[in-house]
Structure 1
Amino acid sequence: MNQALADATAIDQKLSKRHIDLDPGGYVIIYLDHEQGLICAKHFTNFIDDRGLACDPETGKPIPIRGKIERQPTQIFTGRTAKELCVQLFEQAKPCPITLLDHASYLGREFQRAEAALLSGQEYVQD
């Protein structure tokens, strides 16, 4: 690995550990459908409680960060490219389900990573 790539990787790893506020508009689970050639994004609603935890609007309970959750998405977006997904999510969805700019920026980066994984045939794991 060359030094510039190593430095960029170290910067990204450090920044992935920073605190970010949760979006009261909800969260998005991104995954690939290699068979169909699609990047998929499921949007789920939540509310942020007084402790700063994302909670299920139906049960009022905190949403676990690990493990499988049985919830229905409010919307499912699919596209062949990161740009196609961003247009659907940020320009065509009315109202836009994403309410924080840092969340929107994060999703754009993740859609780019997902697109690269889709085009290269690699596995994608959301950061």
Structure 2
Amino acid sequence: MNDLAKNIKKLDNKLSKRPIALDPGGYFIIYIDRENSLICTKYFTNIINEKGLAVDPETGEVIAARGQKNRTEETLFTGRSAKELCVKVIEENPNCAITMLDHAAYLGREFMRAEIALIQGTEYIQD
């Protein structure tokens, strides 16, 4: 890895640790389906409580950022590229639940990271 790449990675790691406001419109879990060469994202609803934490609208339980919680997604979106997935999630979706511009920007970045991992055959872990 060259110096430029190292500096960018260091900056990205630092920025990933900043506090963020959660989108009351919901959240997305992104993953790669290598067998079908697709980038996938599951959309889930949530409510933001008085502490700024995402909670399950049905149970009121806090949704952990890490770990497995069996919830059923509202919608599954798939695309062959980051651009196709953005179009499906945002432009063609009349019920687009993204209510914050920073959330839309985050999804675009993550879809691109997933696309690069799909092309390169490397692991993708959502930030």
TM range (shorter): over 0.9
Q: How does 1:49-88 map to 2 (within 5 A)?
A: 49-88=49-88
Question: How big is each residue's C-alpha offset from its partner over 1:36-69, in whole Å with a ceiling of 9 and x where there is no partner?
Answer: 0000000000000001110000001111222111
1:109 is matched with 109
Q: Secondary structure at the match of 2:71?
A: coil
TM-score using structure 2 length? 0.97
2:18 is matched with 18
Q: Secondary structure at the match of 1:42?
A: strand
Q: CA deviation at 1:5?
A: 1.3
TM-score using structure 1 length? 0.97
Tell me how far apart the structure 1 counterparts of residues 58 and 76 of structure 2 sit (CA, whole Å). Answer: 19
Q: Secondary structure at the match of 2:117?
A: helix
Query: For structure 1, which segment, 4-13 or 47-56, has the greater mean C-alpha deviation from structure 2 after superposition?
Result: 4-13
Tell me how far apart the structure 1 counterparts of residues 18 and 64 of structure 2 sit (CA, whole Å). Answer: 19
Tell me how far apart the structure 2 counterparts of residues 116 and 99 of structure 1 sit (CA, whole Å). Answer: 26
Task: Check conservation: 1:98, 1:104, Cα contact below 8 A.
Answer: yes
Structure 2 segments unaligned to the other structure (5+ residues): none
Number of equivalences: 127
2:43 is matched with 43
Q: Secondary structure at the match of 1:76?
A: strand
Q: Which runs of 4+ in 1 moved over 4 A?
A: none
Tell me how far apart the structure 1 counterparts of residues 102 and 7 of structure 2 sit (CA, whole Å). Answer: 23
Question: How big is each residue's C-alpha offset from its partner over 1:63-82, in whole Å with a ceiling of 9 and x where there is no partner?
Answer: 12221111110111000100
1:30 is matched with 30
Identity of aligned residues (%): 58
Task: Check conservation: 1:89, 1:97, Cα contact below 8 A.
Answer: no
1:92 is matched with 92
Q: CA deviation at 1:3?
A: 1.6
* Letter paired with 1:72: T
Structure 1 segments unaligned to the other structure (5+ residues): none
Tell me how far apart the structure 2 counterparts of residues 50 and 18 of structure 1 sit (CA, whole Å). Answer: 20
Q: Secondary structure at the match of 2:62?
A: coil
Q: Secondary structure at the match of 2:78?
A: strand
